[in-house]
Each structure stands twice: as structure tokens, then as C-alpha cells.
């Protein structure tokens, strides 16, 4: 068993390839609706290494979710190319899993069945094997005591942990996280920072993680990409070399968070004038 698949009990259970390398070359996205034409993204060129944890921070509405949706294959780019290990993305695939701000769990299934659900696509697995993998994933996110609970019986943080377990159960090569902790209270979030760092160091999946929280960005990232206002382009790349696991309240995390915040503030200030002009022009 290699380090790329340590969390699957029984090495042959779910075939796990190495984490994904994601490449974007000159990617843009423009939405055209009957009422407007919105340049939402780019051009963005980007290379995310295998197992890298990249955080995307940018002003509200700049195009962060759009960027994740394109990599997930939910939408095609207007221009440019998105590649996973050199192969063009042509649609969604089991190698890339999205985690949303509001955990998308099925209310009619208990927690264990929610986690096991995605494993049905692995036809070679028996029901007992699917269950064993799901139980193991629940242990990893410390939810083993809630396997039989239904979703409405969980707290917000527990729901998000269940969503994480479900995403990891299928052994995706990349996790696309869209403000996954955005709706959680501060204490729950802080616990999850430790858990997600531990999971990442254990599973080494490639992660793209969107957040508005600059301290969260500094705590989790190998690299922070600060994006411009819409259409999102990469304004600044900040490499985070701090040792792991990182404490959310570490002074070095605070200093970095301050730097990221300064970049974001300057982007919002610089852009205010531009947006005002556009609004006056009726754009
Ligand atoms: N399907 C769509 N059709 C038309 N416009 C869209 C669509 N999806 C997004 N947009 C527009 O694209 C722009 C970027 O949206 P997006 O959701 O990517 O921003 P965001 O950075 O994720 O914002 P937030 O920080 O608020 O989550 C917005 O102006 C939005 O209105
Ligand atoms: Mg968004």
C-alpha cells in the first residue's frame, strides 16, 4: 500500500490513483444571460501540484465558485484549457469532488449510508465492503458514534464532517472546497482546522479551498492565491512555509493573515473606482 491510499481498509477496496495535478491555461468564463453579459473569470493560468493545498481568497462575487465549478467540470470554460494530469476536463468525474458551504447530504439516509452512497459507483465492492469503508471514514472525522443518526440530528460542524467523510470515501484525487466552514461557529471551525490538516497530511489529496477568512487561509495553505475583483485573475501568490500542523492562533499565522488581508483590502479599494464607473455606465 502506498501513502496515496492509507485511509482505505484493505488496499484493493477502492482503487486510488495519486493525487491530481491540475493545470489551467488562459481560462476565462463569461456568462451570457438574456439580461446581461458577465465576465466572471480570468484569464487564469495556474498549476496546482499533486497533494498541494491551495487556498483561493478574493473579494465577494469575484469568480471563486466559478473557478471551482470549471475544475469540477460542472461548466465548460469560455476560453482556455483545464487539465488534470495533462488530460482535458470534459465534465464531472469521480476524481474530483466538491464540498459546499452547506453540506449536501441526503436527509432520508443515515450518516453511514450517506458516506457509503458514493461508493455504489465502485461496482466491484460488496455492500459489506462499502459499509466497512464508510465506517472507517467516519472514524477519521470522529463521527463513528453517529453512524446511525439522521442528518437532522447532527450539528452544523458534524454535518460538514460527514460531508468530508463522504467526499473522502470515494478516494478522489482532488477536493474542491467552496467555503466549507463558512457557516460554522468559530469554535467548531477551529476544531475542523486541526482535523482537515491531519486528514490532508494523512491522505495527501490535492485541495483547492475557497475562503473569505484570511487566518483560515494562512493556517491551511501551502499557497494562497489572492484574486482580483471580478473577473477573477491571480493578483498575488503567497507561499506559506510554516511548519505543520499549524495552530490557528500562532503568531506567524496572524502575521500572514494580515498580509493576505492587506492584499484583499488594496484590491477592493483599487477596484471600487472601477466598479463605480461601470455602474454609472450601466454595466
Ligand atoms: N450561472 C450563472 N449565470 C450568470 N451569472 C453567473 C452565474 N454564476 C455566476 N455568475 C456571476 O459570476 C460572477 C462570479 O460569481 P461567483 O459565484 O463565482 O463569485 P464568488 O467569488 O464565488 O462569490 P462569493 O464570494 O459571494 O461566493 C458573479 O457576478 C455572478 O453573478
Ligand atoms: Mg462563491
Torsion 90-92-95-96 (CA) sign: positive
Q: Which residues pair with 32 in a beta bridge?
A: 37
233 and 149 housed in the same domain: no
Specify if 111 maps to a domain: yes
The answer, yes or no, to whether the previous bond of 245 is cis (omega within 30 of 0) is: yes
- Is there a contact between 4 and 17 (Cβ–Cβ < 8 Å)? yes
Cell of residue 204, nine digits: 495527501
* Residue 65 CA to ligand 2 centre (angstroms): 4
Specify if 13 maps to a domain: no
Cell numbers 449510508: residue: 113
Nearest CA to ligand 1 atom 17: 65
Q: Which atom of ligand 1 is nearest to the CA of 60?
A: 25
Residues 90-119 pLDDT 10s: 999 888 999 988 888 999 999 999 999 988
Q: Which of 151, 171, 191 is the last residue in one of the domains?
A: 171
* Residue 35 CA to ligand 1 centre (angstroms): 15
125 and 191 housed in the same domain: no
SS3 138: helix
**How much is the pLDDT for 273?**
58
**How much is the pLDDT for 140?**
82
**How much is the pLDDT for 275?**
53
Provide, for the chain, the percentages of residues in helix, strand and coil under a 3-state DSSP scheme, each rounded to the nearest 5. 40, 25, 40
* Residue 83 CA to ligand 2 centre (angstroms): 22
Q: Which of 113, 144, 171 is the last residue in one of the domains?
A: 171
Specify if 15 maps to a domain: no
Q: Which atom of ligand 1 is nearest to the CA of 41?
A: 14
Judged against a pLDDT cut of 80, whether residue 47 lies above it is answered with: yes
- As a whole number of angstroms, the distance between CA 161 and CA 91 comes to 26
Q: What residues have a C-beta under 5 A from ligand 2, the ion? A: 65
* Residue 12 CA to ligand 2 centre (angstroms): 37
Q: What is the mean pLDDT of the chain?
A: 87
Q: Using a 6 Å cutoff on CB, does residue 28 contact ligand 1?
A: no
Amino acid at each position: 500500500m502506498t501513502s496515496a491510499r492509507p485511509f482505505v481498509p484493505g488496499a484493493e477496496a477502492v482503487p486510488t490513483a495519486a493525487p491530481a495535478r491540475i493545470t489551467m491555461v488562459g481560462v476565462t468564463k463569461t456568462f451570457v444571460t438574456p439580461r446581461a453579459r458577465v465576465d466572471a473569470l480570468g484569464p487564469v493560468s495556474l498549476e496546482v501540484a499533486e497533494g498541494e493545498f491551495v487556498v483561493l481568497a478574493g473579494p465577494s462575487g469575484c469568480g471563486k465558485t466559478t473557478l471551482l465549478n470549471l475544475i469540477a467540470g460542472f461548466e465548460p470554460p469560455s476560453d482556455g484549457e483545464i487539465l488534470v494530469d495533462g488530460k482535458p476536463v470534459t465534465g464531472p468525474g469521480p476524481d474530483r469532488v466538491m464540498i459546499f458551504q452547506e453540506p449536501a447530504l441526503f436527509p432520508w439516509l443515515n450518516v453511514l449510508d450517506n458516506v457509503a452512497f458514493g461508493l455504489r459507483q465502485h461496482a466491484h465492492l460488496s455492500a459489506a465492503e462499502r459499509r466497512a469503508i464508510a465506517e472507517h471514514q467516519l472514524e477519521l472525522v470522529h463521527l463513528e458514534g453517529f453512524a446511525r443518526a439522521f442528518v437532522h440530528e447532527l450539528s452544523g460542524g458534524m454535518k460538514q464532517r460527514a460531508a468530508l467523510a463522504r467526499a473522502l470515501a470515494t478516494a478522489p484525487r482532488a477536493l474542491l472546497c467552496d467555503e466549507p466552514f463558512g457557516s460554522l461557529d468559530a469554535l467548531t471551525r477551529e476544531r475542523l482546522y486541526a482535523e482537515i490538516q491531519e486528514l490532508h497530511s494523512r491522505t495527501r489529496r490535492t485541495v483547492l479551498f475557497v475562503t473569505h477568512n484570511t487566518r483560515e487561509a494562512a493556517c491551511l495553505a501551502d499557497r494562497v492565491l489572492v484574486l482580483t475583483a471580478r473577473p477573477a485573475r491571480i493578483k498575488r501568490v503567497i507561499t506559506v512555509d510554516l511548519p505543520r500542523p499549524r495552530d490557528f492562533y500562532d503568531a506567524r499565522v496572524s502575521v500572514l493573515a494580515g498580509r493576505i488581508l492587506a492584499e484583499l483590502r488594496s484590491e477592493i479599494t483599487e477596484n471600487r473606482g472601477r466598479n463605480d464607473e461601470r455602474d454609472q455606465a450601466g454595466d
